[in-house]
Amino acid sequence: MGITLADVEEALAQTSEPAPGGYTDRDTLLYAVAIGMGRDPLDHKELEYVCETVGKRVVPTAATVLSRASRPAGGGRSSLTSKMNFALMLHGEQRLTVHQPLPPAAETRVGSRTTGVYDKGKGKGALVTSETDVTLADGSPLYTLGSTMFFRGDGGFGGQSEGAPVPHPLPERKPDMVCEMPGRADQAMVYALCGDRNPLHRDPEFAKKAGFDVPILHGLCSYGIACHAVLKTALDYDQTRVAGFDVRFSSPVFPGETQVVEMWEDGNVISFRVRIKERDVVSINNGKCTIR
């Protein structure tokens, strides 16, 4: 089908009123379990995220699963991307700005918009960037999500090629901190209950059609595991210090693999990347956690 410059211009020009949304503590508790918290049921610091009688902390990256609205919030994403080849789409980058610590449950307002479409050339694909703003019901900003999707089959429509987000550079010294995060073979099954039911992550036959021998772990699950590691290793589990959390996805992860999170601390920035221990490949690169 393909997209045209007119499709891009229409998507970038679209605006809409935010739609009502919300979530409960079931959502925030389940997310913490899905990214590996609570495996030691006597670890008090993690219990504050997974047991409401012990604490009411919420992992900041839970924002990625708490942004559902009761109706589409607009912004042109669906009308544009419906003409693009989803079979060749990859989640390239994820960004998060935290305006205030996430409450365990909340009524929200959700607004989304397309912020950029970049043509890498025929045969080289296209990048689509978008943002989702979430506020509390009283209008106070809660968080902003940003994403970059790489549509490998949709380049060459004549759009601009420059201006996409630039990845955060990592320090060239040895990591200041390293944290190993063991995976579980059933982790994708649990994470899917947070809302992402893509069969690529659970159905072996579907995964084979997509070119994988077995289902792969959700990229946003690995994103949450990286945040878990940073909280555990560098921030003493204090989620209120996280102001931003940005990554670039670089390689698939298989359920059960060990994700080794390498971290560098410089002022108010913790840079990080994730390496898969069993295969020695980098799965998340150019990570940037901005701290308060």
Is 83 inside a domain boundary?
Answer: yes
Indicate the pLDDT class of residue 72, thresholds 50, 70 and 90: low
Both 143 and 257 in one domain: the answer is no
Task: Tell me: pLDDT of 84 over 80.
Answer: yes
- Give the angle 153-253-43 at the CA atoms, nearest 5°: 140
pLDDT tens, position by position, 214-234:
999 999 999 999 999 999 999
What does the pLDDT read at residue 1?
Answer: 58
Q: Mean pLDDT check: name the lowest of 8-12, 70-74, 209-213, 274-278.
A: 70-74
Residue 138 designated active-site = no
Both 12 and 141 in one domain: the answer is yes
Both 51 and 131 in one domain: the answer is yes
Residue 213 designated active-site = no
Q: Check: pTM over 0.75? Answer yes or no.
A: yes
Both 199 and 283 in one domain: the answer is yes
- Out of 25, 176, 196, 238, pick the active-site residue: 196
Both 20 and 125 in one domain: the answer is yes
What percent of the chain is modeled with pLDDT above 70? 96
If you average pLDDT over residues 25-34, what whole number do you get? 98
Is 167 inside a domain boundary?
Answer: no
Task: Tell me: pLDDT of 31 over 50.
Answer: yes
Indicate the pLDDT class of residue 153, thresholds 50, 70 and 90: confident
Q: How far apart are CA 147 and CA 81, in angstroms?
A: 14
Please give the backbone phi and psi of residue 208, each rounded to the nearest 5 degrees, phi first: -65, -40
Q: How far apart are CA 175 and CA 5, in angstroms?
A: 44
Both 108 and 227 in one domain: the answer is no
Rama region for 156: left / alpha / beta (φ>0; ψ in -120 to 50; rest): left
Q: How far apart are CA 200 and CA 194, in angstroms?
A: 15
Q: What is the CATH number of the domain that holds 190?
A: 3.10.129.10
Both 55 and 100 in one domain: the answer is yes
- Outline where DSSP puts E strands in the chain: 19-23, 89-98, 106-119, 126-136, 141-151, 177-181, 242-249, 259-266, 269-276, 281-291
| DSSP code for 200 | G
What does the pLDDT read at residue 77?
Answer: 45
Please give the backbone phi and psi of residue 27, each rounded to the nearest 5 degrees, phi first: -65, -45
Is 168 inside a domain boundary?
Answer: no
Is 85 inside a domain boundary?
Answer: yes
Both 139 and 189 in one domain: the answer is no
Both 16 and 120 in one domain: the answer is yes
Both 16 and 145 in one domain: the answer is yes
What does the pLDDT read at residue 8?
Answer: 86
Its domain, for residue 91, covers 5-151
Higher pLDDT, 11 or 214: 214
Mean per-residue pLDDT over the chain, rounded: 93
Both 15 and 115 in one domain: the answer is yes
Domain boundary among 133, 151, 169: 151
Task: Tell me: pLDDT of 113 over 70.
Answer: yes
Residue with tokens 């996280």: 242
Domain boundary among 151, 166, 198: 151
Max distance between CA atoms of the chain, in angstroms, equals 57
If you average pLDDT over residues 169-183, what whole number do you get? 98
Is 265 inside a domain boundary?
Answer: yes
Beta bridge partners of 130: 114, 147
If you average pLDDT over residues 247-276, what whole number do you get? 98
Q: How many domains does the chain have?
A: 2
* Amino acid identity for residue 113 in this structure: R
Is 92 inside a domain boundary?
Answer: yes
Is 123 inside a domain boundary?
Answer: yes
Closest CA to 77 of 110, 33, 38, 28: 110
Indicate the pLDDT class of residue 5, thresholds 50, 70 and 90: confident
What does the pLDDT read at residue 75?
Answer: 45
Q: How far apart are CA 119 and CA 26, in angstroms?
A: 41
Task: Tell me: pLDDT of 149 over 70.
Answer: yes
Is 170 inside a domain boundary?
Answer: no
Letter string b/e over residues 57-92, b meaning 16 or more CB atoms within 10 A of that residue's CB: bbbbbbbbbbbebeeebbbbbeebbeebbeeebeeb
What does the pLDDT read at residue 76?
Answer: 42
Show the tokens assigned to 7.
């499709």
pLDDT tens, position by position, 128-145:
999 999 999 999 999 999
pLDDT tens, position by position, 232-241:
999 999 999 9
- Out of 168, 201, 218, 228, pick the active-site residue: 201
Both 138 and 209 in one domain: the answer is no
Reading across the β-sheet that carries 269-276, which strands appear in turn?
Answer: 19-23, 106-119, 126-136, 141-151, 89-98, 242-249, 281-291, 269-276, 259-266, 177-181
pLDDT tens, position by position, 179-213:
999 999 999 999 999 999 999 999 999 999 888 99
